[in-house]
Structure 1
């Protein structure tokens, strides 16, 4: 369930309070006072069998006695009564309730259910939405609704605040009111038995009263639902999240480095980034981010120029920027020359630009003009400390028009109190992000940078895939299932490498030997020198027991090393069983960088991919990044760029850059592997050697477990991967034509497809005339959420050997999968050949398989081809005179 009936929760026409009271200090009395005192104009009903009247309004004995069904009910009665009240409300016609009562998950009913589950079961037949239990409630200041037991009202505004913590709800309300910050919706989720973050994000994404969404989060319970809702919301408005519980309690036991490194907070971080949201660390940052992002201009780079009238604040800002991973602008020679002519000889001669404390307003203006004109500056931070020479307000009045009109971001920092209060007000009213300290200003700038990075990631289109490699899924999964059939939870190293090789990941030649003499024979067959490793199910890290020997160049050296390993294992880990030895070809890569790539399973978000600096000290260096599968080359490259080892891979001194394409291939194939084979729960490639010649896996381990292998096993992935099973090859005009879901890599072909459409065909599809697709539009068309939408393309190789798109049929379902809106477009020169009908039939079959209730759409009356097509497929076609379009509808139930 998602947005069904949420309009009754967030915009009710009437409200009933079940458990209304006059007892001072009670929840029922507080909620009634809030409800009646906030200005709500709809009917308010009180329910309590012990009273005929409370707080001057009529009190009804039960839900059944109410004069009409309330749109929204607030329940603050004892836990045992809640499921029955929910059932009565549903029977009466109420479709939304807020359960303020706590303790429902700790008590059980006569059937053994928790009272929380009993309440959900009671609501389900009526599609009645429940907020809570154990929540503070809900405030909608725009309609005067205070359906909470909070101690104060909220001011009206354009921000939505959503919190799991009741204590934070009341604290933030107080904090925001004292600063004049208003809200469109203020929502306490409590235990989130029904309405959760995913539901609220879906609702707020299309809420015209909300310009930005702020969230305080402790955990996510439905990762797929959350990620789909978050990605959709973040495309339409800023979503800023404050996530609690950042500090790990300790590394969990794991059979791999990846399992130990991929901490839960890292996974939340990468989920927020993948969704295009901004994460902040404090409540103050939460609100500051919204103010900053509201006035932020598009960033074309991340280089910051700092302009100040005092050296110290400039140095402080520089330190904060470098510590935060930001980039200082290097001023061009032309700009430096002009500044030399403008500024006193004692100026700083570099960035930060110290214009000296005696600067008149004209010097501020001219310096800012020069910095804004420098192509090597992407943003400017202005810092001012008050002086007795020129009033700060005069300077603010001089620079505000210039900063407001600039195409680049300008941020202001006014140091001091009363002396700069007027200057702060002037900048604030001009829409210039304004801060009290250099550190706060830099933090605000970095929020813009991080937010834009996340948004850009949403809009990136990967290059078209040049290698249609087909992995041996059956063979790889067969190796895994064979190990599970033997009762093993870990693959032997040669088995793990065989699985990797089935997915096109390069591995060194490796043999498994049962004893010492077999190890000697395997070494002779492979050819010297070789590496020898101990194999034991009980040994997690081989080096801990002296179980690795390198550069063995003779049979005797292999025999001696194996004997030493056997003795060491018996001494250091006597309970471990020696299963044999792994013999592998030595990889001679002196210039290679040791990397680690792997996968682990997070309890909330499912499989996660890890990349970082490898070797035996990976836990100590802590240089790694994690990401959610599925990965494409853009996402994989972003992941690499978030590590320090990326700088080593770029090459240094006489070492050439590593083959980045080989590393990207390894990551994307690893992502495909864990998506395809649900039994793999942990995986390590450590080290993966990378140099200019490519990337090769030296050591690999995999942990496996029995898994649900039905279609629903894909639910373990937070983001639904490419649905390969929907691919279909047909014959079209004597040639093979592939019908398949669209992929991000189809961007170039989709652009060419759009360019081949006539202006009228574009207008029929878009309802307006568009000459070309923007980057964001192209990304939106090709980077789709397969859990909620589908776009089938008809594709084949063109005359130049590159894939070409001939047609596309798109369908986007609402979050509840009730109605799906379709669109179909065929290349203009192929109209009338039956391709549109073929694509539409595939869309209809797909929607039926998903249980969608109806397919709907719109067409201009002039678009007679599409109207004839859908009529022939059973669509109802009716005019919508007020919109000037034809409504198209196909019931599927």
Structure 2
């Protein structure tokens, strides 16, 4: 990933059009006209056929240009593109937009090869271009211009970008940038997310995606961007490609769209289905921020509007605020006796201005109300604009907590304007307002995934060696499928409870002998490397009460399986005692490999109809218990797991631990291609795996290298001796938050000031979550831990690497009572070793000039003072970790 020279792409000082034309309707003519319409920087044209164009000189070659343009727009035939890129790159042009279509693979590679040594960025080919309205830049062949505003749009479809321009212009919606990505030979969505995340002119980022190529890069950029500002996604292809043939139910159910849905949620972004919802969500997220849990009160002067809003809330599963006795009493005192006495709050159609003001003030003051949807239909009793002026101060003081729906058009236009200026988010209908609120609730849930603090699994460390032996033996035997007994042994190696199972020869006598050891009643299942779904061919018999029933079942099973799959090799039977768990719910937990995002985990309702019911939720590893429980909560079967009638609630943590164990298998066992635990029984006693199937592959499709989200780098944990005390210096984990809080309590206010460059008495909870739940793909924090009954964090060294992987900015803090004992240097050295191993070139830091101790340690560790440091209060220190490598824009 890289943000190098993206500012030159989006905000250039000068632009050249290669292929600028005088032919009406051509791309070259349209791009030239659009560029010169409002852009005030120098513009140049290159076309060997022309000498002037619109009164401006036209140059025959790049070499003839009077100055080096920062951005180039290419509208020339495909064969010319690589050579022109080479000329421009050598001259010093920082970025180019290749609008030309039809480049073949060799031409694209040649263009990239010419650009990379000079770090020149390429957008396209086959793209409409981009617009940056703030600087008047229209570097596109779009049919209309855009207004300046706070939204950035990045689209993988050029046609959709032009449709958005038309749609937004009619609605007075403005943009900071609009970018058509085209065929993405260099600049992609991940690069632009990284750039726009820190772009001061962008308040929210809108994405239109059709596919995601570099999943880890995209997820890292998306998670970083979503921490800074709202990121809203329209993803095409929700219908998906349907079920595919696979050895596991998980492989069949984990289609590409549900995986992308999981990725969007995990990254803290919001997915919507339509362009209208895209802008509706952007407006809502930018202007509306309810407090607390988002409990909504409906206020209206007409019962119909309130009913419509309440019905809309019921359809999307949105619970309205329950008004307290105190709030009801206060409203009773102010409203006529015929008011609705509940939520929605109908203040009656003859309401004067004072009644509106009192009702809104009461609802905003109610602790059980987080937000208010203010609905008004115009009447002849009182002017709408008078109501708006009276209530506007309340709206302004309750910043981000009021949604408004002024029903009508000319009669309420001034009232709508007054409320919008006061900060209310405005919607044309009650249903649209409620839909927007539901989007906000989804967004808040997704954001919470970035900040939750997990707890550890209760299963303890797995027996990885035992699992690897089983997989290795299967591969050595030339088998992809583990038999049921082997699969359950792998589960037990990771602490997952399984029903006892014995594998036997394919005979009634052998099966009966196993049943006598296990005890009747038993279940009998066929074992065959060629049969994955045993029940589909009659290969399962349940509740066999005695030996006679077992022998009869063996005969019938061999006959059925032989008729259904005469080609299948029968290696034996598995026999297991019938488990008795009358309250258990049947679940499926699985793992598979997505073509784009790598390993994924699934949970949902299990049993034989799993693919028909399709109640499943996909998650991306690595998982913790919080993320695992969130996955479970989104299944339909979660309502049954919560308990009903005589069924007590199931142990959700036990199910979550199974999900965590499966995710850990994907990290520890690279050969794990597909896994099903179906059914997994879950009840008040915990979980029990009744059946399991595992497919392995010598190509090792799993493992941390294939995760879309970089997992915990456990191999960077080191044990050291410090002042005679054994310490563990390791990467920070999300579950370290409690001990990190205790650590900060041992850091003086002055040390916190030196670390954060401001006076801070304490850190908010959100800040602790951000410090402990990090993206290991671009950030690292090593903590020094004194282990024991209650582990203690003694110090932390942290570095955030730029998206180009060239420079990492560090910070270090040690407990105040442990200064000058070498702990900071230990942490800093491990951090430097880690960054060097990742190929980072420079380690840099900003140090207050008064921080003599930090400056001295930096000198001892080989840091130099940046001679360009001119800040009166701060200096920049730099340590070279390795020689600069050859530039790469990808």
Q: Which TM-score applies when normalising by structure 2? A: 0.96
Distance 2:316 2:184 in 1: 35
Q: Would you say 1:64 and 2:63 are equivalent positions?
A: yes
Kept in 1, the 8 Å contact 2:454–2:626? The answer is yes
- Number of the residue aligned with 1:320: 312
- Number of the residue aligned with 1:332: 324
> Which of 587, 592, 610 is the aligned partner of 2:579?
587
Give, in angstroms, the shift of residue 883 of structure 1: 4.5
Q: Would you say 1:493 and 2:492 are equivalent positions?
A: no
Q: Would you say 1:400 and 2:392 are equivalent positions?
A: yes
Kept in 2, the 8 Å contact 1:378–1:408? The answer is no
SS in 2 for 1:795: strand
- Number of the residue aligned with 2:30: 30
Kept in 1, the 8 Å contact 2:669–2:703? The answer is no
Cα deviation 1:751-807 (Å, max 9, x = unaligned): 100111111211111111211111111111111111111111111334xx1221111
Q: What does 1:678-717 correspond to in 2, within 5 Å?
A: 678-708=670-700, 714-717=704-707
Give, in angstroms, the shift of residue 271 of structure 1: 0.9
> Which of 374, 387, 393 is the aligned partner of 1:382?
374
Distance 2:445 2:740 in 1: 24
- Number of the residue aligned with 1:279: 271
SS in 2 for 1:297: coil
SS in 2 for 1:68: coil
- Number of the residue aligned with 1:746: 736
Distance 1:414 1:622 in 2: 41
> Which of 857, 860, 864 is the aligned partner of 1:869?
857
- Number of the residue aligned with 1:5: 5
- Greater mean deviation of Cα atoms: 10-19 or 811-820: 10-19
Distance 1:736 1:507 in 2: 39
Kept in 2, the 8 Å contact 1:737–1:795? The answer is yes
Give, in angstroms, the shift of residue 676 of structure 1: 2.0
- Greater mean deviation of Cα atoms: 860-869 or 684-693: 860-869
Give, in angstroms, the shift of residue 819 of structure 1: 0.5
Aligned residues: 880
> Which of 772, 775, 778 is the aligned partner of 2:768?
778
SS in 2 for 1:156: strand
- Number of the residue aligned with 1:886: 875
- Number of the residue aligned with 1:110: none
- Number of the residue aligned with 2:42: 43
Give, in angstroms, the shift of residue 69 of structure 1: 2.2
SS in 1 for 2:482: coil
Kept in 2, the 8 Å contact 1:129–1:194? The answer is yes
Cα deviation 1:601-643 (Å, max 9, x = unaligned): 1111111111122222222333222111101111112111212
Give, in angstroms, the shift of residue 74 of structure 1: 0.6
Cα deviation 1:415-451 (Å, max 9, x = unaligned): 2222222222221121101111111010111122112
Q: What does 1:816-827 correspond to in 2, within 5 Å?
A: 816-827=804-815
> Which of 401, 413, 416 is the aligned partner of 1:409?
401
Distance 1:882 1:808 in 2: 26
- Greater mean deviation of Cα atoms: 211-220 or 862-871: 862-871
Cα deviation 1:467-524 (Å, max 9, x = unaligned): 5822122221222232222222222111111111111111111122231232222222
Cα deviation 1:137-178 (Å, max 9, x = unaligned): 011112221111111111112211111111111111121122
> Which of 819, 823, 826 is the aligned partner of 1:835?
823
SS in 1 for 2:481: coil
Distance 1:500 1:56 in 2: 76
- Number of the residue aligned with 2:76: 77
Query: CA 1:407 to 1:148, structure 2 compared with 1: closer, same or farther past 3 Å?
Result: closer
Kept in 1, the 8 Å contact 2:520–2:545? The answer is yes
Give, in angstroms, the shift of residue 590 of structure 1: 0.8
Q: Would you say 1:805 and 2:793 are equivalent positions?
A: yes
Q: Would you say 1:767 and 2:757 are equivalent positions?
A: yes
Query: CA 1:705 to 1:571, structure 2 compared with 1: closer, same or farther past 3 Å?
Result: same
Distance 1:562 1:364 in 2: 77
Query: CA 1:289 to 1:883, structure 2 compared with 1: closer, same or farther past 3 Å?
Result: farther
Q: What does 1:436-835 correspond to in 2, within 5 Å?
A: 436-463=428-455, 465=456, 467=458, 469-516=460-507, 517-708=509-700, 714-798=704-788, 801-835=789-823
Distance 2:317 2:596 in 1: 29
SS in 2 for 1:210: coil
Give, in angstroms, the shift of residue 411 of structure 1: 1.0
Query: CA 1:18 to 1:488, structure 2 compared with 1: closer, same or farther past 3 Å?
Result: same
Distance 2:725 2:574 in 1: 50
Cα deviation 1:680-705 (Å, max 9, x = unaligned): 12211111111111111111111222
- Number of the residue aligned with 2:97: 98
Kept in 2, the 8 Å contact 1:49–1:62? The answer is yes
- Number of the residue aligned with 1:53: 52
Cα deviation 1:633-660 (Å, max 9, x = unaligned): 1111211121222222222233222112
Runs of 5+ unmatched residues, structure 2: 883-890
Kept in 1, the 8 Å contact 2:666–2:703? The answer is no
- Number of the residue aligned with 2:839: 851
- Greater mean deviation of Cα atoms: 718-727 or 532-541: 532-541
Kept in 1, the 8 Å contact 2:457–2:625? The answer is no
Kept in 2, the 8 Å contact 1:156–1:183? The answer is yes
Kept in 2, the 8 Å contact 1:310–1:355? The answer is yes
> RCO higher in 1 or 2 (8 Å CA, sep ≥ 6)?
2
Kept in 2, the 8 Å contact 1:204–1:213? The answer is yes
Kept in 2, the 8 Å contact 1:382–1:412? The answer is yes
Cα deviation 1:289-347 (Å, max 9, x = unaligned): 22111122243113222122222222221121121121122221222233334333333
Kept in 2, the 8 Å contact 1:867–1:877? The answer is no
Give, in angstroms, the shift of residue 14 of structure 1: 1.4
Kept in 1, the 8 Å contact 2:586–2:607? The answer is yes
- Number of the residue aligned with 2:18: 18
Cα deviation 1:353-373 (Å, max 9, x = unaligned): 222222222222222222223
Q: Would you say 1:311 and 2:273 are equivalent positions?
A: no
Distance 1:315 1:561 in 2: 60
SS in 1 for 2:20: coil
Query: CA 1:663 to 1:468, structure 2 compared with 1: closer, same or farther past 3 Å?
Result: closer
Distance 1:225 1:594 in 2: 37
SS in 2 for 1:327: coil
Kept in 2, the 8 Å contact 1:98–1:133? The answer is yes
Kept in 1, the 8 Å contact 2:457–2:657? The answer is no
Kept in 2, the 8 Å contact 1:848–1:892? The answer is yes
- Greater mean deviation of Cα atoms: 294-303 or 132-141: 294-303
Give, in angstroms, the shift of residue 249 of structure 1: 3.3
Kept in 2, the 8 Å contact 1:462–1:747? The answer is no
Kept in 2, the 8 Å contact 1:224–1:715? The answer is no
SS in 1 for 2:729: strand
